[in-house]
Amino acid sequence: MKRSPLVRKTPLRSKPPAPVKRERAPLVLVPRPAGAPRAVMAPAKFRAAPKPVTFRSEAWLAAVRSLPCVHCGQPAEAAHRNEGKGGSIKAHDCLAAALCRPEHRRIDQGRDLTQPERRALMDRYIVLTLLELVKAGKVVLA
| Domain presence at residue 25 | no
Instruction: Name the domain count of the chain.
Output: 1
Q: Which residues pair with 77 in a beta bridge?
A: 99
**pLDDT class of 33 with cuts at 50, 70, 90:** confident
| Domain presence at residue 29 | no
pTM for the predicted model, two decimal places:
0.63
For residue 77, what pLDDT is reported?
A: 95
| Domain presence at residue 49 | no
Contacts of 51 (CB under 8 A, 6+ apart): 88, 89
Q: What is the 3-state secondary structure (H, E, C) of 14-29?
A: CCCCCCCCCCCCCCCC
The range of the structural domain enclosing residue 121 comes to: 58-135
Closest C-alpha among 138, 69, 73 to residue 107: 69
> What number is the average pLDDT over the span 45-53?
73
> What number is the average pLDDT over the span 80-94?
79
Rounded CA separation 61/98 (Å): 9
| Domain presence at residue 102 | yes
| Domain presence at residue 91 | yes
| Domain presence at residue 115 | yes
Closest C-alpha among 58, 126, 124, 55 to residue 92: 55
| Domain presence at residue 6 | no
More confident residue, 20 or 59: 59
